[in-house]
Structure 1
């Protein structure tokens, strides 16, 4: 396990926003410094064990016609997503049209760009 401790300055910045008097901020900092290993251990135990990406397979299907419409083009993207959680593999099958998939990609790229902002970096640093 990697130690992810925030520095004293980051802790003070986080507590400063709460608007406590300077005296209480110093007490909180000392309590944090005295108990940070125990705090980290408790937070690690509370961390949810979420499944994570292991592998993905995809396929593009195109329906060219049906009984009612002869010149219909209906593309579908099918994805088989393999997830791993506690050394166990699970499989999810997802199906969507290309327009929805492109919209999802755009939203994820925007979220990734947002994570690169200074505000988000500071929040993430303080969470770890």
Structure 2
């Protein structure tokens, strides 16, 4: 099977295609260092200076490599599928050789980590219904407008597919906007937080 990459992950991996094979070998070493010991900003600053690139570019290259490793291990890719997957990004044959060796050398350890970190959630998302309501008056206040958004979040039991759980939620538009902003921030940070669990597992 071929891996399906998120747009931001594609961008991070695409940064690596612009570097030489030796540079990619070095980035793989930095990624392994991240896995074993956590991030090393001093080393990343030095790398950025030596390669004449920005600090966050170095970080994104490392995140891209570790995400690639996690995805490949999760789907237990063989060599052919791994090469075909990264070929779609634009890696040359020599670059593919380096990345496959990176995957081959760390796949067993990462696979064990993924098994330990697997959280069994009994429910999965099924549907979301919502409606917009407005309370225009009450006995105490005859002139008022209170907008509310009512939601019915439907979850499906993974083991019993015919059983659904309804979670009813109610919030005003301002709170919904705040929740949306917080979820977007959490989504943006989730990649780094997910990666940060990898070195902690090794250290423990």
TM-score calculated relative to the size of structure 2? 0.40
More deviation, 84-93/58-67? 84-93
- Indicate whether 1:105 and 2:177 are aligned: no
Higher strand share: 1
Q: CA deviation at 1:11?
A: 4.8
Post-superposition, which runs of at least 4 consecutive aligned residues in structure 1 deviate over 6 A?
A: none
Partner of residue 169, structure 2: 94
User: 1:11-65 deviations in whole A, cap 9, x for unaligned?
Assistant: 5531144xxxxxxxxxxxxxx96x6598368537x52224221101001111111
**1:77–1:98 Cα contact (<8 Å) kept:** yes
- In structure 1, distance between residues paired with 2:168 and 2:131: 11
Give the secondary-structure state (helix, strand or coil) at the position aligned to 1:105.
Answer: helix
Structure 2 spans left out of the alignment, 5+ residues:
1-27, 39-104, 200-204
* Secondary structure in structure 1 of the residue aligned to 2:137: coil
**Which residue number in structure 1 is paired with residue 153 of structure 2?**
81
Name the one with the larger helix percent.
2
- Matched length: 103
TM-score (norm 1): 0.60
Structure 1 unaligned regions, length at least 5? 1-7, 18-31
Report the RMSD for the aligned CA atoms in angstroms.
3.6
